């Protein structure tokens, strides 16, 4: 199965700043997905990123807050902008490879 | 859109006993149902999945059953071991030519007591 490398694995950031999370897949994938997982909660989809087009955002998530890039079929970034303590969470990228969905290792973000 | 409900939220079993986690989904078009195991601080790992053209699938101690009419599916773990302790998530999606996002259940914290 595919491997997704995600970085950083964790970060502590000051409120008002931005953090960019990167995901690299070891094979070409059409769609990549970005999820947020708050402590003790399930995974909530932020957006779907298709190479060559604008990302599609779920209700409650906006491009100005979570801009996404998808420059090629193996890479994507998610930026968490103008951070507040409410953004403290785990962020995960995902992609479908073959018949299944694979996840990156996650980024644990703490905003202070 | 799809909505997935998962029960129970917590489950404690004695080592060697069986554990069953149940999920229901709302979108009758969904045709792919994976189960993920997430250990503390780790990424979700696929443990088993089932597609709508079959009713049951087994992999050693793990099995999944699907009832399309009732729109529910279940995870069965037999002969549980302490290393089975984790959070388990069910998910559903319509798997077609283009990938679609997974919709996750709320998760079940399984604790296997030695």
Question: pLDDT digits over B60-113, tens only?
Answer: 999 999 999 999 999 999 999 999 999 999 999 987 766 688 999 999 999 999
Measured between beta carbons, which residues in chain B are less than 8 angstroms from residue A44? Answer: 104
| pLDDT value, residue B100 | 80
Q: Copy the structure tokens of residue A38.
A: 């708050």
Min Cα distance B18 → chain A (Å) is 24
Show the CA angle centred on residue A104, arms to residues B80 and A11, nearest 5°.
110
CA dihedral A4, B77, B93, A90 (to 10 degrees): -40
Measured between beta carbons, which residues in chain A are less than 8 angstroms from residue B105? Answer: 42
Measured between beta carbons, which residues in chain B are less than 8 angstroms from residue A107? Answer: none
- A89-97/A100-103 β-pairing: antiparallel
Quote the mean pLDDT of chain A.
94
A52 — pLDDT class (breaks 50, 70, 90) = confident
- Pairwise pLDDT comparison (A1 vs B37), residue with the higher score: B37
Distance CA A106, CA B21 (A): 25
Cα A37 to Cα A32, A45, A107, B93, distances in angstroms: 16, 9, 10, 19
Q: Is the Cβ pair B99, A45 closer than 8 Å? A: no
B104's CB contacts (< 8 A; 6+ apart) are A42, A43, A44, B4, B89, B90, B91
Distance CA B2, CA B25 (A): 7
Contact by Cβ (8 Å): A108, A39 = no
A111 — pLDDT class (breaks 50, 70, 90) = very high
| pLDDT value, residue B98 | 65
Measured between beta carbons, which residues in chain B are less than 8 angstroms from residue A94? Answer: 102
A35's CB contacts (< 8 A; 6+ apart) are A43, A44, A45, A46, A91, A92, A93, A94
Residue in B43, B46, B101 closest to A106 by CB: B43
Q: Is the Cβ pair A96, B107 closer than 8 Å? A: no
Distance CA A61, CA B9 (A): 26
Min Cα distance A16 → chain B (Å) is 26
- A89-97/B45-51 β-pairing: unpaired
For B33, which residue in chain A has the nearest alpha carbon? Answer: A100
pLDDT at A80 over 70: yes
Contact by Cβ (8 Å): A43, A35 = yes
Interface probe for A, chosen from B101, B104, B105 (most Cβ of A below 10 Å), is B101
Residue in A92, A96, A105 closest to B99 by CB: A96
């Amino acid at each position: 199965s595919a491997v997704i490398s995600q970085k950083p694995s964790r970060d502590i950031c000051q409120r008002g700043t931005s953090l960019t999370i990167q995901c690299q897949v070891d094979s070409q994938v059409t769609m990549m997905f970005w999820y947020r997982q708050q402590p003790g909660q399930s995974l909530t989809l932020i957006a779907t990123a298709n190479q060559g087009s604008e990302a599609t955002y779920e209700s409650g998530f906006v491009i100005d807050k979570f801009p996404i890039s998808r420059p090629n079929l193996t890479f994507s970034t998610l930026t968490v902008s103008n951070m507040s303590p409410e953004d403290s969470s785990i962020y995960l990228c995902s992609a479908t490879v073959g018949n299944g969905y694979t996840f990156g290792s996650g980024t644990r973000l703490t905003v202070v | 859109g799809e909505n997935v409900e998962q029960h129970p939220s917590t489950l404690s079993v004695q080592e060697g006993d069986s554990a069953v986690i149940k999920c229901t989904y709302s979108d009758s078009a969904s045709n792919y149902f994976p189960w993920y195991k997430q250990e503390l601080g780790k990424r979700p790992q696929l443990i088993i999945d089932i597609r709508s053209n079959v009713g049951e699938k087994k992999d050693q101690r793990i099995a999944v059953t699907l009832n399309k009419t009732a729109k529910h599916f279940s995870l069965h773990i037999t002969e549980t071991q302490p290393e089975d302790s984790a959070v388990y998530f069910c998910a559903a999606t319509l798997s077609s030519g283009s990938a679609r996002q997974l919709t996750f259940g709320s998760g079940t914290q399984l604790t296997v007591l030695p």
